[in-house]
């Protein structure tokens, strides 16, 4: 069919660094929702994180490319990294919608922790209206809490939110950064190519974020 509406998963994150937890939730949701693509969007200057402590966008973009390259259904966009100043998800979605001329449906993929903070995001009502939210379970975040939050958001904003159980992987970028600083192994927590990239560029050895390539 020539004009069929495409279904795109949007996987936003700081990806500092990208790890297997991110890849598994993206792939699970792609399959469950029969998405045409999942677009990974490394965050530019997210409002909820201290920008001075985040690794440069160049490095995070390269690592995201390396991690996703073997999956033909995964793409990476630098839409947020190319912007100056604080970046908000709603502005990114508006821009993507414009590019697709409304011939696409967006599924915003988040982990449980991000969903719990959703009420603090800019123009959340508009955001929920423009894309379907899919929240993946994450170890450390109780399903009952997620369900309560989903109900609260659904009744407040009158929009449905999906919750999906994914294989539990107790992996976080914070833990990976700490392990590297301590000299502990990160093997199998992230793709080998990303680990090699981190070693080559000496990332995460100190507390200071690394600048441009």
Among 57, 76, 110, 131, binds ligand ATP (CB under 6 A): 110
**What are the phi and psi torsion angles at 6 (to 5°)?**
-80, 150
Q: Kindly state the smallest distance separating residue 102's Cβ from ligand ATP, in Å.
A: 25
| 136 lies in the site for ligand ATP, by CB under 6 A | yes
d(CA 24, CA 36): 16
Helix, strand, coil % (nearest 5) of the chain?
Answer: 40, 15, 40
Using the contact rule CB under 6 A, the part of the chain among 29-37, 76-84, 88-96, 109-117 near ligand ATP is 109-117
| 25 lies in the site for ligand ATP, by CB under 6 A | yes
Choice between 3 and 207, CB closer to ligand ATP: 207
Choice between 118 and 130, CB closer to ligand ATP: 118
Structure tokens at 191: 């793709």
d(CA 161, CA 163): 7
Q: Residues 52, 55, 80, 150: what is their CA dihedral angle, to the nearest 10 degrees?
A: -90
Choice between 10 and 130, CB closer to ligand ATP: 10
Site of tokens 């975040």: 141
Choice between 5 and 170, CB closer to ligand ATP: 170
Residue nearest to ligand ATP (CB): 111
Choice between 9 and 21, CB closer to ligand ATP: 21
Please work out the total of residues on this chain that contact ligand ATP, with binding judged by CB under 6 A: 18
- Size (the chain), residues: 213
| 77 lies in the site for ligand ATP, by CB under 6 A | no
d(CA 89, CA 79): 11
| 64 lies in the site for ligand ATP, by CB under 6 A | no
| 22 lies in the site for ligand ATP, by CB under 6 A | yes
Binding mask 138-177 for ligand ATP (x = CB under 6 A): x------------------------------x-xxxx---
Q: Kindly state the smallest distance separating residue 36's Cβ from ligand ATP, in Å.
A: 20
Q: Mind giving me the DSSP string for 16-85?
A: TT--HHHHHHHHHHHHHTT-SEEEEEE-SS-TTS-GGGSPPHHHHHHHHHHHHTT-TTEEE--TTTTS-S
Site of tokens 């700490």: 178
Q: Which residues bind ligand ATP (CB under 6 A)?
A: 13-16, 21-22, 25, 110-111, 113-114, 136, 138, 169, 171-174
């Amino acid at each position: 069919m020539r004009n069929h509406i495409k279904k795109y998963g949007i996987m936003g994150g700081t990806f500092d660094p990208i790890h297997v937890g991110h890849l598994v939730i993206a792939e699970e949701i792609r399959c469950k929702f029969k998405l045409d693509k999942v677009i990974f969007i490394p965050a530019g200057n997210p409002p909820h994180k201290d920008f001075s402590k985040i690794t440069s966008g160049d490095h995070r973009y390269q690592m995201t490319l390396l991690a996703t390259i073997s999956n033909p259904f995964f793409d990476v966009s630098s839409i947020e990294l190319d912007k100056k100043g604080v970046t908000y998800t709603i502005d990114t979605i508006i821009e993507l919608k414009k590019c697709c001329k409304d011939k696409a449906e967006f599924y915003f993929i988040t982990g449980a922790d991000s969903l719990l903070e959703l009420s603090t995001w800019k123009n959340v009502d508009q955001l929920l209206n423009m894309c379907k939210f899919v929240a993946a379970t994450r170890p450390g975040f109780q399903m009952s809490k997620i369900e309560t939050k989903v109900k609260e958001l659904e009744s407040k904003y009158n929009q449905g939110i999906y919750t999906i159980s994914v294989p539990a992987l107790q992996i976080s970028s914070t833990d990976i950064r700490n392990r590297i600083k301590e000299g502990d192994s990160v093997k199998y927590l992230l793709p080998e190519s990303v680990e090699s990239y981190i070693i080559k560029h000496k990332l995460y050895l100190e507390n200071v974020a690394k600048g441009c390539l």
